[in-house]
């Protein structure tokens, strides 16, 4: 499906605002909704701000790009899909607990809606560039109808399975990301303690079997705002599934210390304050 479409974007923060801009640049008629009047202050004039969800009723596609804990409140009222979101395609681009995502799919089917879970990877950098990755769960026919909308801000779209599968994929992605960040910080801290400078070491590791996206983008500032919530979701899902997750258990404790240290706030190679706060493995890390 191609051509100009009316698309609603709920959530105009670090991800939603640039996504709305890309959609408008692609020729779509874009309506943006966010309860925070400051959010999306730099939206292009071609994006029309609305103040109530009922104003999205004329949209063919609605994207939800809000914090994961707010998604159920955005989609449902009194346990039912909001009337403004019925009989249209709704893409949940937020990171949501997979079990809750499946319940939202069931509510949408029951109440005449069409839902995809389409959490996004590559963060606000990818949102600004318009080369995000969407990991999609839901019906292939719904995805086919929304392909042109996703292509406005995604360079890659992968359909990983049925309802909730996109959130499972994002959960695993996040677990591996935070695990890698924690490992890289610890490894580079060890190297520095042993007298090896970070810059040359990172260059060498990027050409070795230790190469990773985290190392290759090491100079990029990272505030890790979602690390704690992401790891909580991982461990909750593992517990429900009866799956062992010893690495995730450690990462949940360690990643809070990494964030609190400020090591990555100004970019991994240029940041000061390299030392991590010490804490016993059996205790909760600061902010964890």
Residues annotated as catalytic (active site), given as ranges: 170
Between CA 7 and CA 28 the distance in angstroms is 7
Residues of the chain by 3-state class (helix, strand, coil), percent to 5: 45, 15, 40
Between CA 3 and CA 26 the distance in angstroms is 9
CB atoms within 10 A of CB 92: 29
Which of these, 35, 99, 104, lies nearest to 72 by C-alpha position? 104
Alpha helices in the chain (DSSP H): 16-25, 71-75, 98-110, 123-129, 140-150, 165-193, 198-205, 213-216, 227-241, 246-261
CB atoms within 10 A of CB 136: 25
The three-state secondary structure class of 32 is strand
Rg (the chain; Cα; Å): 20
Which of these, 171, 79, 153, lies nearest to 117 by C-alpha position? 171
List the beta bridge partners of residue 9: 32, 63
């Amino acid at each position: 499906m191609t051509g100009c479409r009316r698309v609603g974007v709920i959530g105009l923060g670090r991800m939603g605002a640039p996504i709305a801009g890309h959609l408008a640049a692609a020729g779509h008629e874009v309506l943006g909704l966010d309860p925070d009047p400051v959010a999306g202050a730099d939206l292009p004039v071609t994006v029309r701000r609305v103040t109530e969800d009922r104003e999205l009723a004329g949209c063919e596609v609605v994207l939800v790009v809000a914090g994961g804990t707010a998604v159920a409140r955005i989609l449902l009222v009194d346990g039912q899909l909001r009337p403004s979101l019925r009989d249209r395609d709704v893409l949940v681009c937020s990171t949501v607990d997979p079990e809750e995502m499946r319940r939202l799919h069931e509510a949408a089917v029951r109440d005449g809606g069409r839902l995809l879970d389409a959490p996004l990877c590559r963060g606000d950098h990818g949102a600004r560039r318009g080369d995000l990755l969407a990991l999609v769960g839901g019906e292939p026919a719904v995805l086919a109808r929304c392909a042109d909308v996703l292509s406005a801000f995604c360079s890659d779209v992968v359909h990983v399975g049925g309802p909730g599968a996109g959130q499972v994929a994002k959960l695993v992605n996040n677990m591996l990301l935070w695990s890698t960040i924690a490992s890289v910080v610890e490894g580079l801290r060890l190297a520095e303690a042993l007298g090896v400078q970070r810059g040359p070491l990172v260059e060498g590791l990027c050409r070795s079997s230790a190469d990773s996206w985290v190392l290759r983008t090491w100079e990029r500032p990272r505030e890790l705002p979602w690390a704690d919530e992401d790891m909580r979701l991982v461990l909750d899902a593992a517990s429900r599934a009866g799956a062992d997750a010893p690495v995730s258990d450690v990462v949940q404790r360690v990643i809070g210390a990494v964030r609190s240290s400020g090591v990555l706030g100004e970019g991994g190679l240029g940041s000061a304050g390299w030392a991590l706060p010490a804490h016993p493995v059996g205790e909760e890390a600061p902010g964890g």
